[in-house]
Amino acid sequence: IPPVTFRLMPYTVAVQVVEATSLSPGQRSNGLCDAYANVRLANNPRVKKRTRIVEKTLNPNWNERFYFTCDGTDTSLIFHVWDYHTVMANQRLGELEIPLSDVQHAGDNNFKLPLQRVAQGQLHVKIAITNDEPTLDKEGAEQESSESSEEEELLPASSSFPYSTGGRGSGSWPDSQETG
């Protein structure tokens, strides 16, 4: 009898990095930072997505969406928030790890959590899991990023975001982006 092998179904994780609040001012003399965030799968550090830099603030609002194709072995998402510097090394303002098992059972999948390994700061993200492919936007461009791209397009603040209702494959993707 040949051995039984199982193949895990791939699925898509949609991540919307909404904002950070009450960040530490870092080492800048003006008491503000030029903040950006990146997100990656815990078991695949080569595939990293990055927000744009929001200058001179302790409360950056990014509202950017990223997509990851997962193979079933992925365990969590890791977020890092950074203060961008042109001359010296960028300064880490905090990090956060969210297990994908928490996303599957969270209901609305809207996370506002304190950053870890820092004195202060909070990160607001929304996460959805689905077996569906991302839909096309109004111009017909695919809304999924290529895994080699690090920066994504900004979504309008009034865009709807798909929420999983608790299990893989149960999330819904909007057919088009709504604009305010």
pLDDT, greater one: 17 or 132: 17
Do 161 and 108 form a contact (C-beta atoms < 8 A)? no
Q: Give me the pLDDT at residue 142, please.
A: 39
pLDDT-based confidence at 45, cuts 50/70/90?
confident
Per DSSP, 2 falls in state P
Task: Say if pTM beats, i.e. exceeds, 0.75.
Answer: no
What the block records as the tokens of 121 is 């700061």
Q: What single-letter amino acid sits at 166?
A: G
Percent of the chain topping pLDDT 90: 42
Per DSSP, 22 falls in state S
Q: What single-letter amino acid sits at 116?
A: Q
CA pair distance 2, 125, nearest whole angstrom: 45
Do 11 and 168 form a contact (C-beta atoms < 8 A)? yes
pLDDT-based confidence at 6, cuts 50/70/90?
low
pLDDT-based confidence at 10, cuts 50/70/90?
confident
pLDDT, greater one: 75 or 39: 39
Q: Give me the pLDDT at residue 111, please.
A: 93
Alpha helices, DSSP H, located in the chain: 100-104
Q: Give me the pLDDT at residue 101, please.
A: 84
Q: Which of 53, 20, 15, 41 is nearest to 161 (CA)?
A: 15
Do 129 and 41 form a contact (C-beta atoms < 8 A)? no
**Any idea which of 76-80, 116-120, 146-150 has the lowest mean pLDDT?**
146-150
What the block records as the tokens of 132 is 């569906």
Number of residues that this document lists for the chain:
180
Q: Is the pLDDT of residue 100 over 80?
A: yes
Q: Give me the pLDDT at residue 1, please.
A: 78
